[in-house]
Amino acid sequence: MLKIITAITLMGIASAATAGTGSQGYFEIYNDTSSNTVVGFYTNDGSGWSTNWLNVQLEPGEHATAEFSAVSGACDQTLQVGWLGQDGGEVMDDPIDIDICEASNVYLGDDQIEFD
């Protein structure tokens, strides 16, 4: 089961040398959109959806570091992103599967979510 150690914190510009790696318990989340704000980041290891990892909104061009502890080794996760809607509410993106232990970076684009 995924246990969140630290909520997302807004970080400055990261260099390649400081890029996170899921195998070390952290990864970077990037808002690569031109005009959309990320308000929610949720994971599900099969036991239900997590609470929102974000404690800040990610504006276009911003990124954050996510820290976690995979206590039971549940690296396979489904993630879902919430975007700020025009009415101020949260608009949920389609969920995708991710190996959270292999991901170093998660890129949130206008029409896609990618990771490496």
Q: How many residues does the chain have?
A: 116
- State the pLDDT at residue 98: 87
The CATH number of whichever domain residue 99 belongs to comes to 2.60.40
- State the pLDDT at residue 38: 96
Q: How many distinct structural domains can be found in the chain?
A: 1
**Tell me: the pLDDT tens digits for 14-68?**
333 334 455 567 788 999 999 999 999 998 988 899 999 888 999 999 999 887 7
Range of the domain at 72: 2-115
